[in-house]
Structure 1
Amino acid sequence: MKLLVPVKRVIDYNVKVRVKSDQSGVDLANVKMSMNPFDEIAVEEAVRMKEAGTAQEIVVVSIGPEKAQDQIRQALAMGADRGLLVKTEAETEPLGVATLLKAIVEEEKPDLVIMGKQAIDDDCNQTGQMLAALLGWPQGTFASKIEKKDGEIHVTREIDGGLQTVSLKLPAVVTTDLRLNEPRYASLPNIMKAKKKPLDVKDPSDYGVDLKPRLEVLKVTEPPKREGGVKVETVAELVDKLKNEAGVL
């Protein structure tokens, strides 16, 4: 089985995000960038499937700037076999990414696309669903457990009522949740080996896809600072404050 794992370059989750002074976007100057945590979980799950003999090849793809090669190399160091960077400096949106991934899937012909459920920079949670719709493939979202049985992929996902297991016929698209696994740290020998693994660089025009943004950002602002709390002596005082001061009752 061949796996395709899309990964995204985002601001590291430990970094405090700063807004540009002109409110045109987020300041990326001298900011640590990392692989999107949900995508890192997808890479880990793909590697585990290969180690278990379920998968034979893992192809990692990223759509972004030249420096996104760092995140692809990280995935290769974790155990992926081959990398593909679709180089673009444009701001990418879910539909454009899904359309480009569709073209890549048609070229690579994977049996399973496994990807993070969302990116921590835009929190859209749309690309996996859009890709499945464009391909006409079954999908399993928010996966907390993935198993292959009888030629099908069984995905356990968390829902309001507990857990739900769906059976997907291959080929399929699966998006990963936080509780699926704990990603490994790449060892130094594997990091060195990753430098020799194949990594292709292409342009969106090679796939006939235009990544021109469809949305316009008017301005970006920081959330209001939280005010300090107060202590109350009685439940009646609490209810009074919620009703008359906070206006939530």
Structure 2
Amino acid sequence: MKIIVCVKQVPDAKDVRLDPKTNTLAREGVESIMNPYDRHALEEAVAIKEQLGGAVTVLTMGPPQAEAVLREAIACGADEGVLVSDRAFAGADTWATSYTLAKAIEAIGPFDLVLCGKQAIDGDTAQVGPGLAHRLQVPYATCIQKTRTVGDGVIEVERMMDDGFDVVRLPLPALMTVVKDINQPRVASLKGKMKAKKAAIKCFSASDIGADPQCIGLAGSPTQVVRVFAPEPKGNRKIFTGSVEEQVDQLVACLKAHL
């Protein structure tokens, strides 16, 4: 079973803030982590490998420092890491990102399954997974909460819905995005950390994957973020003090005054 897991290095959500001068995310001095949803995709890939055999390749697109999440993934059970890094990739939107990842996967070689987190916490678009499946021309399912069975060229999974779940059977090769309900990610062992420290990380540039310059980075991005800002608070605010009963009385009196 050849499994490829796409991961992303993102700013730690608890430290995210906006630069008031540039109106963009302030990344300087902010710790970078593996996207939380991607951790669950990695864990599911390793669990399937342990059950059926095979290999797990972890792929990320980003600056050189993104190599850190690949080593973290190897420490948690992945077999190898591939970093796709080139200044030409800067400014990529989800369209250009899915194109770049697809070209990288083609360079890696044949696969049975591609796993992604449902979405990245820095963008929250949930578009790269489906976009990647379209580029690779494979069937896909999103928001997977459980893997039921894998074998005989088919994977059966549960897709989370608002009112329960759907049971979906996909012919392999396929792609799926996962939610946090699917598993509990393992903690890296000492042996895993030693393996990760010594691991040789493959690095692909734009030319290595045969990417069209007009399809990557800003040039290949039909959408661009013009400005990011925090909305200013509006309206009058009141803070109620005292015991719970006193605060409730104050709230009721306030509401009555507006009836």
User: Which position in structure 2 is the counterpart of 1:29?
Assistant: 28
Could you tell me whether the CA contact under 8 Å between 2:145 and 2:178 is conserved in 1?
yes
User: Going by fraction, where is helix more abundant, 1 or 2?
Assistant: 2
Could you tell me whether the CA contact under 8 Å between 2:8 and 2:61 is conserved in 1?
yes
Shift of 1:220: 1.6
How many residue pairs get matched? 241
After superposition, give the CA deviation of every residue in 1:107-135 in whole Å (9 maximum; x if it has no partner). Answer: 32111000101000010100111111222
Partners of 1:238 and 1:205 lie apart in 2 by 65
CA 196–136 in structure 1, closer or farther in 2 if over 3 Å, else same: same
Could you tell me whether the CA contact under 8 Å between 1:118 and 1:124 is conserved in 2?
yes
> Superposed, which structure 2 residues align to 1:54-203 within 5 Å?
54-89=52-87, 90-107=90-107, 108-146=109-147, 147-203=149-205
Task: Give the share of equivalent positions with the same residue, in percent.
Answer: 35
Counterpart code for 2:191: P
Secondary structure of 1:124's counterpart equals coil
Could you tell me whether the CA contact under 8 Å between 2:85 and 2:203 is conserved in 1?
yes
Partners of 1:38 and 1:119 lie apart in 2 by 7
Shift of 1:184: 1.1
Corresponding position: 1:214 with 2:256? no
Could you tell me whether the CA contact under 8 Å between 1:41 and 1:178 is conserved in 2?
yes
TM-score of the superposition, structure 2-length normalised?
A: 0.84
Shift of 1:214: 3.0
Secondary structure of 1:38's counterpart equals helix
After superposition, give the CA deviation of every residue in 1:175-223 in whole Å (9 maximum; x if it has no partner). Answer: 0101011111112331111122231111123221422243332222124
Secondary structure of 1:217's counterpart equals coil
User: Which runs of no fewer than 5 residues in structure 1 stay unpaired?
Assistant: none
User: Which position in structure 2 is the counterpart of 1:42?
Assistant: 41
Superposition CA RMSD, Å: 2.4
Counterpart code for 1:25: T
Partners of 1:228 and 1:238 lie apart in 2 by 9
Could you tell me whether the CA contact under 8 Å between 1:4 and 1:113 is conserved in 2?
yes
Partners of 2:139 and 2:238 lie apart in 1 by 48
TM-score of the superposition, structure 1-length normalised?
A: 0.88
CA 170–238 in structure 1, closer or farther in 2 if over 3 Å, else same: farther
